[in-house]
């Protein structure tokens, strides 16, 4: 059971870093630091978009429009950290 909990926590941790990478990449593209027409940049950006968009879209639909500011990654990160801490708390109770 502990192995399964560790696997779920590791997946949440990896997904957290993917969300952070997607947010940073969107900023770099928005400020013209990297060129999205480059093949590698486009491939990485497309992968990050396809992986994160299914989780971010429902959050964007719920949040009010804040103009050009998108806080949905922050909300998703907070939600993932909350889920992770809940899993750790219940795993601790399960073990002891």
Q: Does the structure show a pLDDT above 90 at 83?
A: yes
Q: Is the overall model pTM greater than 0.95, yes or no?
A: no
In the chain, the N- to C-terminal Cα span, in Å, equals 13
Helices (H), the chain: 2-30, 39-62, 72-95
Per-residue model confidence (pLDDT) at position 46: 97
CA distances from 67 to 19, 25, 26, 63, 74 (A): 21, 19, 16, 11, 16
Tokens of 58: 């429902």
65: pLDDT confidence band, cut at 50, 70 and 90? confident
CA distances from 61 to 3, 52, 77, 82 (A): 35, 15, 17, 21
Q: Does the structure show a pLDDT above 80 at 96?
A: no
């Amino acid at each position: 059971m502990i192995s399964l909990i560790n696997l779920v926590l590791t997946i949440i941790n990896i997904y957290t870093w993917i969300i952070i990478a997607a947010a940073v990449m969107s900023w770099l593209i928005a400020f013209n630091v990297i060129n999205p027409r480059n093949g590698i940049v486009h491939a990485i950006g497309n992968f990050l978009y396809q992986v994160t968009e299914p989780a971010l879209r429902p959050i964007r639909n719920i949040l009010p429009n804040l103009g050009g500011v998108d806080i949905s990654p922050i909300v998703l990160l907070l939600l993932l950290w909350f889920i992770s801490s809940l899993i750790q708390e219940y795993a601790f109770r399960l073990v002891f």
